[in-house]
Amino acid sequence: MTVSGLVLVDKPAGITSHDVVSRIRRLAGTRKVGHAGTLDPMATGVLVLGIERATRLLGHLMLSDKAYDATVRLGVATTTDDAEGDVVATSSTNAVTDDAVREVLTEFTGDLLQVPTAVSAIKIGGKRAYQRVREGEDVQLSARPVTVHELVVRDVRRPGDAIDADISLRCSSGTYVRAIARDAGVRLDVGGHLTALRRTAVGPYGLAGARTLEQLADDFEVVPIAAAARAAFPSVELDDDASRRVRFGRPLDLELRAPTAVFAPDGEFLALYEHRDGKARPVAVFVG
């Protein structure tokens, strides 16, 4: 029987998130595999996958903050706001100082209204934005609220006529790092795009716990669903009576400040609960 839990993959460049899912389905021996938070083919780093019952946990994990290391290239704009797109404009960066680069990039912190890149996976009328772009449509997306908790400029370099800025950031789910590169280029009036992106964390899950596909093929490591829930959410241990109530999806007399994982006396993960209408009520129940 396949264990329900999470698989933390260090995704390589050059393949899609769906390609990773297909590999893990073969390794796990089940088709019930999903992922939380798509990574573009160019991107590398932490991709969280759920197996069996843990797939139901993914929607809640997708709301977690994320962390990235990235390289922004200034002086060149592309159709996709990253290195996979066609170059649409180049500009001289001779007048742009290193201090100006650092100042502009660090302005992208706090609560922001961000226009996602047109080739995103956002659905418009049931169809992905990138599909509409490929079909020749002029896609205009509305600005969305995102939060960048921290953005640090690690280095500023000058390869040829362009400027490369290495950055690290922590941000809310739904933040497009490509859009930060694009918008920084606009503010500096030279254009910009992303040349490298590595996701270093999704919520509590970081690179230290992630494995390459080759490592997983040799030793298929699964984080059991109970351990995954404890790592990602506050937890509460229940007695036998409360555990029985949870199995029927009934409310509990608990004060909860955030979505919380509840456990039976033997350590079995039962459900996610949240405080609603004066009581703790189930968000998702994981046992019968």
Q: Which residues does the annotation mark as catalytic? A: 40
Angle, CA of 61, 174 and 90, to the nearest 5°: 145
Tokens of 136: 């020749």
* Contact yes or no for 285/249 (Cβ under 8 A): yes
SS3 183: helix
**Burial class of 108 by CB neighbour count within 10 A (0 to 12, 13 to 18, 19+):** buried
Using CA atoms of 71, 169, 13, 212 in order, give the dihedral in degrees to the nearest 10: 140
DSSP structure class, residue 177: H
What is the layout of strands, in order, in the sheet containing 235-237? 235-237, 260-263, 269-276, 279-285
DSSP secondary structure letter of residue 256: -
Tokens 């809640």 map to which residue?
A: 60
